[in-house]
Amino acid sequence: MTAIALGMPTGPKGRPETMTDAVMPTSGPMIDTFGRAVRDLRVSVTDRCNLRCTYCMPAEGLDWLDKADVLTAGEIIRLVRIAVRELGVRAVRFTGGEPLLRKDLTEIISAVAALDPRPEIALTTNGLSLARSAEALADAGLDRVNISLDTVDAARFAAITRRDRLPDVLAGLAAARAAGLSPVKVNAVLDPETGLSDATGLLKFCLDEGYELRIIEQMPLDAEHHWSRTTMITADQILETLRADFDLRPDTAPRGAAPAQRWIVDGYRTPDGKPARVGIIASVTRPFCGDCDRTRLTADGQLRNCLFAASETDIRTLLRSTEYSDQDIALRWRQATWSKLPGHGVNEPGFLQPSRPMSAIGG
C-alpha cells in the first residue's frame, strides 16, 4: 500500500487540492484523493414511505423500486460486513424511505451488531411505528435513533407530511427514550413559508422532553424540484429566531465529522444532567464537505460517494454474481470512494440536482 497522509490539503484559495500523484490504497481505511477517510456508512433499506413530506416527495408518492431490485437482508448484511471488516467503517445508519417499513430490519440490525468489530448502529426514521418496535430494535443492538419531526403543531404536521399522524410520532419518540436509544435526536427541516414559526415550539418541546433538536437547512433534493435558494430558511435565520427566546452559546467541543454546529441552551439540562444542546446543520450555507466521512448505499444496491453525486457505482451486480468475492466488492467500493469530489457543489455555478430525490438516496 502506498502511504498517504490523511487530512485535507488546502490550496491557495482555501480549496482542497487533490493528491494527483497518489495511488489508491488497497488496504487500510478507505480514502478519497483528498485524504478523507470513510468511517460512516448510510444504508437505505427501502425507497418507500408512509408519509409524504412536501419538501421530500409528491402527494402521490414516487415510482417505487421493483422488489426484485431491492437488496435482501442477506445482501445488506454482507455489504455492511465488507464495509466494517475490509474498509474501516465504524458507524452504520439505516435510513430510507422509511426504514421501519422493512419487516426484516430487526434481523439486519441484529446481524450487524454481531460483527467484529461491532460498528455503532443508528437509525433515521419518521417514527410512525416506533412505539411498536423501539424495544425490539434496542434489544437487537440499535444504539441510537434520529426521529424526523418538523413541528409540534398537529395541523401543521398534517399539512407538511400530508398525514394526520403527529400522535404516532410523539409516541415513537417516547418509546425510543424508554428503550434507551439515547441521545434521542429530533431532525427538523423547516418549511420556507411558515417553518420559522415552528422552530421555537420544537426546541421548547425537545428541551422539556429531553430530546436533542437538530434543525437542518433544506437541500435541493426534493423530488419536485421546488427548492429555491432565495426562499430557503438559512442557519443564520434559525439561530436568530431561537435566540429571541433562548440563551444560546457555542458548544466548543470538537465537532469532528459531525454536520451540526451545536449550541448550549443555558438553563436547560439533559435527562442525565448534562447541559442541553441544539444543533443547526448548515448544509447549504456552510457546507462541511471537507470533514465528510460518509459513504452511501441505496436500497437497490448503488454506491454513492456523496448525497449530491451525479453518478453511482453498481455494487448489486457484483453481489448477485458468484464470480465476485468480498475482496472484489471491497475494491470496487474503494474505487467509488477514491473518485469523491471535494464538495457537493450546491453553491457552484451550473450545479445540477441529482436525479434521485432524498427519499431514494437515503438521508
In the set 33, 151, 261, 359, which binds ligand SAM (CB under 6 A)? Answer: 359
Taking CB atoms within 8 Å and a gap of at least 24, the contacts of 245-249 are 245/200, 245/203, 245/204, 246/200, 246/203, 246/278, 248/278
C-alpha cell, 131: 412505539
CA distances from 199 to 58, 151, 177, 204 (A): 24, 7, 22, 9
Q: How far is the CB of 52 from ligand SF4 (least distance, A)?
A: 6
User: Whose grid coordinates read 421530500?
Assistant: 56
Phi, psi dihedrals of residue 235, rounded to the nearest 5°:
-55, -40
Q: Which stretch binds ligand SF4 (CB under 6 A): 49-57, 135-143, 177-185, 269-277?
A: 49-57
The 8-class DSSP code of residue 63 comes to -
- CB burial of residue 231 (10 Å; 0-12, 13-18, 19+): exposed
- The 91-120 site mask, x for binding ligand SF4 (CB under 6 A), equals -----xxx----------------------
Q: Which does 221 bind (CB under 5 to 8 A by kind): ligand SF4, ligand SAM, none?
A: ligand SAM
Q: Is 235 in the site for ligand SAM (CB under 6 A)?
A: no
| Cβ atoms within 10 Å, residue 171 | 18
- Specify the residue, 87 or 101, whose C-beta has the smaller distance to ligand SAM: 101
- Backbone φ and ψ for 291, nearest 5 degrees, come out as -105, 10
Question: Which one of 46, 80, 91, 96 is in contact with ligand SAM (CB under 6 A)?
Answer: 96
Query: Which candidate, 92, 107, 115, places its Cα nearest to that of 43?
Result: 92
By CB under 6 A, tell whether 98 contacts ligand SAM: yes
Which of residues 38 and 360 has its CB atom nearest to ligand SAM in the complex?
Answer: 360
Neighbouring residues of 14: CB distance < 8 A, sequence distance ≥ 6 = none
Given ligand SAM, ligand SF4, none, residue 124, with its beta carbon under 5 to 8 Å by kind, binds: ligand SAM
Backbone torsions φ then ψ of 169, nearest 5 degrees: -70, -40
Nearer to ligand SAM, 79 or 358 (CB): 358
CA distance 145 to 192: 26
From the list ligand SAM, ligand SF4, none, partner contacted by residue 157 (C-beta under 5 to 8 A by kind): none
Give me the least distance between CB of 124 and ligand SF4, in Å please.
8
Question: Which entry of ligand SAM, ligand SF4, none binds 57, CB below 5 to 8 A by partner kind?
Answer: ligand SF4
How many residues at the interface with ligand SF4, by CB under 6 A? 12
Task: State which of residues 126, 151, 261, 337 lies at the interface with ligand SAM (CB under 6 A).
Answer: 126
List C-alpha distances in Å: 311 to 225, 267, 320. Answer: 19, 47, 21
Choice between 126 and 151, CB closer to ligand SF4: 126
Rounded to 5 degrees, what are φ and ψ at 196? -60, -30
214-233 footprint of ligand SAM as x/- string (CB under 6 A): --x-xx-xx-----------
Binding footprint of ligand SAM on the chain (CB under 6 A): 49, 55-56, 95-96, 98, 124-126, 148, 187, 189, 216, 218-219, 221-222, 358-359, 363
Binding footprint of ligand SF4 on the chain (CB under 6 A): 49, 51-53, 56-57, 96-98, 126, 148, 359
